[in-house]
Amino acid sequence: MVKRKRDDSNKDSDNNKDSSNKDSNNKDNNNNNNNNDDDNDDDIRKSLSSSGRQVIVILDKANLETVKTKKGEYTLLNSEENISLMRRLKKDPNDYRPDILHQELLSVLDSPLNKAGKVKIYVRTEKSILIEINPKCRIPRTFRRFSSLMVQLLHQLKIRSSDSEMLLRVIKNPVTRYIPAGSKCYGFSQHGTLYSPFSFSTLLPDDVPIVLVLGAMAKGSISREDNAYIEEMVSVSEYPLSGSVAINRILGAIEQHWGVI
């Protein structure tokens, strides 16, 4: 379980006051994502609820990298459209699959569990840029529009709705700052301990938040070596699944267990 020195609950108002501060922090975040040594967890102004029956989904190792095209516009590097550019830059196309993150986000956001208000969502990129996704956010359904939204986010560090609600924002590392004390954290990989999705859901404690870490990349896997806060690696099929199918299976089983229809 994740241990925290102090309960940081009821800090919403502080959090709002601090948004300008956070924005400058976010700029630092791009240059210095792993250098948080001087941060004290006690000072994190984040509303954290330690109550049960809530799920925090972390989509890790997402491929989100922008590149300037010959026309001088920025685009999200992706293996389908930028193949000649990748050859020129000697990059492996398997490292540029932002479509995996797109599909996974749609699966989480569309899930009844999310619609019931029980989900929080974070994305961490391969380069350790951490993004908070408002669960009410409507992510574009076409990849082209998703791609331009991500380019805008990576350049501006936040996206607000027309009525100023924060939809997406780059936040400070590490992700454990946003995991409430006592949460139970599971990582997902084909190589984890095999459970049927429903038997996995019946093991979940009812009184603390559940953290689910899934990969948003094409190659490599989520591991406890890379994410020390993960307590157990779980597999929900004998077969390698796409990220979105894995999410649908896991969240579907939790919905069944918690009676979210």
Ligand X SMILES: C[S@@+](CC[C@H](N)C(=O)[O-])C[C@H]1O[C@@H](n2cnc3c(N)ncnc32)[C@H](O)[C@@H]1O
Q: How far is the CB of 65 from ligand X (least distance, A)?
A: 18
The contact pattern for ligand X, residues 91-110, with x = CB under 6 A and - = no contact, is ---------x----------
Determine if 57 is a binding residue for ligand X (CB under 6 A).
no
Kindly tell me which of 28 and 226 has the beta carbon lying closer to ligand X.
Answer: 226
Q: Do 218 and 78 form a contact (C-beta atoms < 8 A)?
A: no
Told to check if 176 binds ligand X by CB under 6 A, we report: no
E runs forming strands in the chain? 55-62, 66-68, 74-76, 119-125, 130-133, 158-160, 166-171, 184-194, 210-215, 232-235
d(CA 223, CA 240): 15
By CB under 6 A, is residue 62 in contact with ligand X? Answer: no
How far, in Å, CA of 157 to CA of 24, rounded?
Answer: 10
Q: Is 69 left (phi over 0), alpha (psi -120 to 50) or beta?
A: beta
Segment lying near ligand X (by CB under 6 A), choices 74-82, 124-132, 172-180, 186-194: 186-194
Beta bridge partners of 58: 122, 213
Smaller CB separation from ligand X, 161 or 242: 242
Tell me the closest approach of the beta carbon of residue 126 to ligand X, in angstroms: 12
Least Å distance, CB 74 to ligand X, is 26
Burial class (CB in 10 A: 0-12, 13-18, 19+), 115: middle
Q: Are 64 and 44 in contact (CB under 8 A)?
A: no
How big is the site for ligand X, counted in residues (CB under 6 A)?
20
By CB under 6 A, is residue 36 in contact with ligand X? Answer: no
Asked if residues 19 and 161 have their Cβ atoms less than 8 Å apart, the reply is: no
Residues 188-207 touching ligand X, rule: CB under 6 A, are 188-190
Query: Taking a C-beta distance cutoff of 8 angstroms, is the pair 215, 60 a contact?
Result: yes
243 scored as a contact of ligand X (CB under 6 A): yes
- Report CA dihedral (145, 212, 191, 248) to the nearest 10 degrees: -60
Site residues (CB under 6 A) for ligand X, limited to 203-242:
214-215, 217-219, 221-222, 235-237, 239-242
Provide, rounded to whole angstroms, the least separation between the CB of residue 235 and ligand X. Answer: 4
Q: Does 121 bind ligand X (CB under 6 A)?
A: no
Query: Shortest gap between Cβ of 100 and ligand X (angstroms)?
Result: 5
Q: How far is the CB of 45 from ligand X (least distance, A)?
A: 31
Asked if 248 touches ligand X (CB under 6 A), the answer is no
The CB-of-88 to ligand X minimum distance in angstroms stands at 26
Using CB under 6 A, list all residues that contact ligand X. Answer: 100, 188-190, 214-215, 217-219, 221-222, 235-237, 239-243, 246
